[in-house]
Amino acid sequence: MLRAFCAFVFGMWSVAASANISLSPYFVEMNDAAARTGQVRFTNTSQSEKTYNIEIVNFEQKSDGSYKKITEPIPGNPFAGPYLEWAPHQVTLQPGQSQVVRIRRRGMAAAADGEYVSHMLIQEQAAPDEMYGTSKGGAGGLVINLKPLYGVSIPVMIERGRLTATARIGDARIAKQNGKPVAIVPVLRSGNRSFYGTVVVSQGRRELGRISEFRIFMTTPQRLLQVPLSAAPSDDITVTLIDENTNETLETKSL
């Protein structure tokens, strides 16, 4: 009898780090003119030797910021993958050892203007003798344990042509999550490229919380941000939206 089952964890898709990997930068931007190359550096932060596969994948971003893997482009969001070369595709690292992945953009003479987006996924691979583990359970049962595998992904973007993006704040409100105050802030994107911004929630001159340097990709008309607050607000609450590309304050809205 099967008593327990622990699934693999594929894709801990954080822009910063997972349990066994750290990396920088958090995104790579290229264009169709001067910026034809980029690189990513990642480190094995575990206590054992790890082998990693490095591949280009594609996601649809949901309004909560989560990703759904897709294989066909969504209108207005062409994939960058067909125009990318990278090396290495696989590497084995000792604990604390780092690797630089170099990325090069191919020619795009026949490509239409737009923002091309894919993600570089750095995925831990299990050794053959680590893939499965079994042990006897009670009453003659069998326990199967599967080893978690960790990975991180970052967006790789190519900008072609003259692209613009802006955003505005929707109907924001204060709520509670697990008994703690949060600001629910919809941010609505417009334009022909992804929006890169920061949201700050304040009470008077006192900052209560922020979400910095988030992206809204072309797959996503809006992001619904949940901003943890350091204190329960009363009155004089404002939400400020900042464009990180221009360092411009786009809007300040009272709640």
Instruction: Work out the widest C-alpha separation in the chain, in whole angstroms.
Output: 68
Q: Say how many C-beta atoms besides its own lie within 10 A of residue 54's C-beta.
A: 19
Percent of the chain whose pLDDT exceeds 70: 84
Domain endpoint, select from 160, 175, 191: 160
Between residues 102 and 110, the one the model is more confident about: 102
The values of phi and psi at residue 219, to 5°, are -75, -10
Which of the listed residues 160, 177, 211 is the one where a domain comes to its end?
A: 160
Q: What whole-number distance in Å separates Cα of residue 248 and Cα of residue 100?
A: 33
Residues 85 and 171 in one domain: no
pLDDT in tens, 20-31: 888 999 999 998
The residue range of the domain holding 190 is 165-254
Same domain? For 145 and 175 the reply is: no
Last residue of a domain, one of 121, 142, 160: 160
Amino acid letter for position 33: A
Both 17 and 112 in one domain: the answer is yes
Tens-digit pLDDT profile for residues 30-50: 986 767 899 999 999 999 999
**What is the mean predicted confidence (pLDDT) over 198-213?**
96
Residues 95 and 217 in one domain: no
State the virtual CA torsion across 164, 169, 170, 171 in degrees, nearest 10: 180
Break the chain down into helix, strand, coil percent, rounded to 5.
5, 60, 40
Residue 122 pLDDT: 95
Are 40 and 120 part of one and the same domain? yes
The answer, yes or no, to whether the previous bond of 128 is cis (omega within 30 of 0) is no
Same domain for 169 and 115: no
Residue 59, pLDDT above cutoff 60 = yes
Q: Is residue 155 located within the same domain as residue 187?
A: no
183, 128: one domain = no
- Residue 43: the pLDDT is 95
Q: What are the φ and ψ backbone dihedral angles of 233, each rounded to 5 degrees?
A: -80, 155
Domains in the chain: how many in total?
Answer: 2
Residues 81 and 195 in one domain: no
Q: Is the pLDDT of residue 10 over 50?
A: no
Q: Are residues 129 and 30 in the same domain?
A: yes
Cα-based angle 87, 90, 77 (whole degrees, multiple of 5): 60
30 plus 141 within the same structural domain = yes
What's the CATH number where 131 sits?
2.60.40.10
Q: Do 113 and 170 fall within a single domain?
A: no
Among all chains, which residue has been given the structure tokens 């309004």?
63
Q: Determine the average pLDDT of the residues in 116-141.
A: 72
- Residue 34 is which amino acid? A
| The pLDDT value given to residue 38 | 93
